[in-house]
Structure 1
């Protein structure tokens, strides 16, 4: 048994599918199944319950998965420590980030940071914010960029973007000619939301309930560009950050400000407390502070500022 076998096993668990895991790690499904079977034989236990169609861990499988996470995290930390001994900003930073946030903020960050530190590799893990929180907690990524607030005492939190939500609507819709709309005007509209794994799913529903109605959900998707295409096909309306609009090339879409009140979103970087922070990660945080991307501490809550490690 080696660490790679455990990593392959973890990928099957994370993907909840042998087929998806095999594609993600560039192996054939039979080869991956053979590796997991070999691991089971070496450990003398069944890792998966194969009596149902749904891929489910056995009790032994859960123990192996939990311990594998610790082993992989320790190995990653070993590499980070050795990189630090060389006093060079080298290595890899794994960043968990929802696709929409990646589209809006990451290209600018990556371009400037890579120019300054070309030896550091930034690896993106694109999933919904709820899943990103789990990955940061289990130390499968170095840091996460998510929609705030997040209530978890295990994290350091660096707020860095605040922005308005806008209504995205087909240009022939009766509301499309308005200069501004209120949320209450949308109570009869079919909504197109992000999937339940995304914080924006719950956030939009919360904003609608605060405005006095339960939104009618027509479609859900994990891709913001598909959401826009559904709006362009007159299948519903969407509420997305204002900065999405310049990235839309579809002339059928209008973006309209929302008032009474104006819903806002705030993004933040989260890191797990007590975890070793590599030199490369510290350099990234210092870069974000220098570029004024991370909000200065006086704009944070007092208790948050006191808990932040110094980059």
Structure 2
């Protein structure tokens, strides 16, 4: 017996009239009468007492009516919860990252796709300032970004998770005077030209970089800006200056560039951030996979 037939029967009982029940379901009265007769024939019992003025339930009809109400209610609840679950389990996860984080994102995406092959993962690179903007606007589900980035969001609205532990290195051309050392103190860089990836604003701005270096005891005089990680490494290799580089990136250096450890110099871990209002359940799964990675 179909759900729609139960709804026909409930309408007839509700209106106590075949014509009004038929109008509710956009059919003619004779068609409604045939539907109810088919139910009674299928059950082998009389459910309704019919007369010229009204329709009344038999004892069996009353039992059938009460159960039909519960079945219809359960059916509607099933449809509603199924649709709600579908909305809470979107088929897309949108990830944003900055200059450095792609080194480990690729591995995490690969592992995630192995676990959830039906979920599309869209990954794109943005400036660190745009990462914040797009996250807050709901255009990105999760962003992987610099240790300084949490200062640019509301912690009442944003969840911040530390991921990608990474030591900070200085990279130099192997012919640079500092290349003879494996570890140096921050003040060794005071006379060096620093090649940066600084942006106009946000957590990777020049102002943040200056605060960062001053806190570390550096007094950098000359700064050159590079527009990508690749160009930054190329400029270092060309002998134009030195650069900060997280340890997650050192495996990708060219043979002519050396990474030197900075003594007592720890800017903190990279972070993943997402909005508390975002109910995409795959965010936490993806971040959990990322948090297992190490430099």
Contact 1:241/1:265 (8 A) holds in 2: no
In structure 2, what is the equivalent of residue 147 of structure 1? 146
2:163 matches 1:160: yes
Q: CA deviation at 1:120?
A: 1.1
In structure 1, what is the equivalent of residue 43 of structure 2? none
Q: CA deviation at 1:147?
A: 1.3
Spell out, residue by residue over 1:83-114, the C-alpha distance to the aligned partner (whole angstroms, 9 max, x if none).
86348965111112103111x21011011001
In structure 1, what is the equivalent of residue 243 of structure 2? 238
Contact 2:142/2:283 (8 A) holds in 1: no
In structure 2, what is the equivalent of residue 271 of structure 1? 274
CA distance in 2, matches of 1:83, 1:225: 46
Contact 2:163/2:290 (8 A) holds in 1: no
State the structure with more CA Rg: 2
CA distance in 1, matches of 2:88, 2:138: 23
Spell out, residue by residue over 1:44-67, the C-alpha distance to the aligned partner (whole angstroms, 9 max, x if none).
xxxxxxxxxxxxxxxxxxxxxxxx
Say which of 213, 216, 219 aligns to 2:221. Answer: 216
Structure 2 residue runs without a partner (length 5+): 1-80
CA distance in 2, matches of 1:212, 1:91: 48
In structure 2, what is the equivalent of residue 127 of structure 1? 126
SS of equivalent residue, structure 2 residue 255 = coil
Q: Which stretch shifts more, 264-273 or 169-178? A: 264-273
Contact 2:163/2:270 (8 A) holds in 1: yes
Q: TM-score, normalised by structure 1?
A: 0.60
In structure 2, what is the equivalent of residue 183 of structure 1? 186
Query: How many residues in Structure 1 have an aligned counterpart in Structure 2?
Result: 208
Structure 1 residue runs without a partner (length 5+): 1-80, 296-311
Q: TM-score, normalised by structure 2?
A: 0.63
Q: Which stretch shifts more, 250-259 or 197-206? A: 197-206
RMSD after superposition? 2.7
Q: CA deviation at 1:195?
A: 2.5
In structure 2, what is the equivalent of residue 95 of structure 1? 95
CA distance in 2, matches of 1:147, 1:262: 15
Q: Which stretch shifts more, 118-127 or 232-241? A: 118-127
CA distance in 1, matches of 2:196, 2:219: 13
SS of equivalent residue, structure 2 residue 93 = strand
Spell out, residue by residue over 1:236-289, the C-alpha distance to the aligned partner (whole angstroms, 9 max, x if none).
0001101211112x2110111011x2233311111123x2412xxx23413543
